[in-house]
Amino acid sequence: MSGEQRKLAICIPTHHGRAPYLRELLGSIARQMPSGRERQIEICISDNASADGTRELVADLRSSIGVPVKYFRFEQDMRGVRNFLNVVDMAEADYCWLVGSDDLILPGGIERILATLDRSPEVQGLSVNKLNFDRSLQKSMGPDHELVLPSHPACSRMLTGLEEIASNLALSLTFMSAHIFRRHVWQEIVREVGLDGLCAMRHFPHTYVYLRIAGGEGRWYWLAEYCVIQRLDNFSILEENDRLLSAYVAEVTDDLEKVWLATVPADRVWSDLMRRLFFLYWNPIDVFLRLTDRRVKWDDQRQMREDCVRRFRAYPMFWLTTYPVLWVPVPVCRAIFTAGRAIDRVLPLEAAAQGLLTWLGAAIGRTRGGDRD
């Protein structure tokens, strides 16, 4: 590209079945393209062998967006890792913003990010706040849980050093669409690790690379303003596991443990992240509900118990709350759940369960690392 170097590439990996969502995403971009910024922005779309009209959709919308739109389509399914590596390779801009094809950019989000990069040209990465909606975008699910967000989430600020960045953002970095990063640093790490090394991280290779970038020069900005909408209940991992929550949570936990072991400082940061992961995925209420699924077998429950003991044995809260639940036979869990639904009409069991989660979350939050006054 001649003339001014582009500052931001919006990189969109997509796959079959996402064409209607992609149309909405591209519309959200076109409606807010910052005036006078057109030469600083490009859009790259890497299509993982879709057969849903994505090519025709891009051709139809390209002229209405106002910035260059690059499109590439694999002829066969290359899986997710290869697809998002390709979309970054398509870019020429200094910074890349990986955005899932089913997410949306909130009005003003692009300008806020460009303005932040203008003010802080030394940053290696930038994370933005997001809002969560249901799949149809009709129901707001609110912001992320406070244990996912950085400490003092309403305060935009520079985070310095891998320990502070990981303590504040390691959970947020699992969601692909809320992070912007220097393209050349990403590519250096990808060349070093290789495709096989990234595939070993399975569902979170992007999280691995983000944390490796943070571990370099160690300057990452947290932008507290909401810039992205995420559709919940639209996860590829959940679909791959036939929407069986116990299998989904086991895979997520396995993968995050592997990513964090390879990237974050040991001891305090690692312990803090695993404690928060325990609350988010392995608290007693959610474990009990997963055990009511008729597809969960005794061997699945035994494996869950063994994995939890290995991971969370250092936390007294695990032994007091979740561990006893993991010994309740699956048929008994289902019977209790059925009876509880009837009893809840008389006794506020749901409110009591929510109270337990609130207490447990507060207890974990009080021990959280990474706080900065």
Cα 45 to the chain's mean position, in Å?
A: 19
Distances (CA, A) of 288 to 325, 330, 336, 350: 6, 9, 10, 13
Mean pLDDT, range 173-194, rounded to an integer:
97
Structure-model confidence comparison of residues 370 and 35, the more confident one: 35
Beta bridge partner(s), residue 70: 44
The answer to whether residues 99 and 10 touch, using CB atoms and an 8 Å cutoff, is yes
Structure-model confidence comparison of residues 317 and 354, the more confident one: 317
Structure-model confidence comparison of residues 353 and 291, the more confident one: 291
Which 3 state secondary structure label does DSSP give 132?
strand
Pick from 256, 280, 279, 276: nearest CA to 268: 276
125-133 and 140-143 strand pairing: antiparallel
State residue 134's pLDDT score. 92
Residue 36 has phi, psi (to 5 degrees) of 85, -5
List b or e across 311-327, with b for residues whose CB sees 16 or more CB atoms inside 10 angstroms.
bbeebebbeebbbebbe
Amino acid making up residue 119? R
Cα 155 to the chain's mean position, in Å?
A: 21
State residue 103's pLDDT score. 96
Mean pLDDT, range 295-323, rounded to an integer:
95
State residue 372's pLDDT score. 40
Confidence of residue 350 (pLDDT cuts 50, 70, 90): low
The answer to whether residues 38 and 66 touch, using CB atoms and an 8 Å cutoff, is yes
The Cα–Cα gap between 325 and 124 comes to: 43
- The 10s digit of each residue's pLDDT in 15-47 is 999 999 999 999 999 999 988 999 999 999 999
Beta bridge partner(s), residue 43: 10, 69
Residue with tokens 């929550």: 245
State residue 320's pLDDT score. 94
Tokens of 62: 């390209």
Which 3 state secondary structure label does DSSP give 14?
strand
The Cα–Cα gap between 330 and 362 comes to: 29
- The 10s digit of each residue's pLDDT in 52-71 is 999 999 999 999 999 999 99
Task: Of 87-101, 117-131, 174-188, 354-368, give the lowest mean pLDDT range.
Answer: 354-368
Task: Of 142-151, 202-211, 228-237, give the lowest mean pLDDT range.
Answer: 228-237
Residue 216 has phi, psi (to 5 degrees) of -80, -105
Distances (CA, A) of 206 to 157, 183, 251, 329: 23, 13, 16, 37
Where are the domains positioned within the chain? 8-234, 245-328, 336-366
Pick from 166, 244, 259: nearest CA to 204: 259
Fold of 8-234: Spore Coat Polysaccharide Biosynthesis Protein SpsA; Chain A (3.90.550)
Confidence of residue 341 (pLDDT cuts 50, 70, 90): low
Rounded CA Rg of the chain: 22
Residue 17, C-beta contacts closer than 8 angstroms, at least 6 positions apart? 50, 52
State residue 4's pLDDT score. 73
Is the pLDDT at 238 greater than 90, yes or no? no
Pick from 283, 279, 265: nearest CA to 364: 279
Q: How far apart are the first and last CA of the chain?
A: 44
List b or e across 98-135, with b for residues whose CB sees 16 or more CB atoms inside 10 angstroms.
bbbbbbbbbeebbebbbebbeeeeebbbbbbbbbbbee
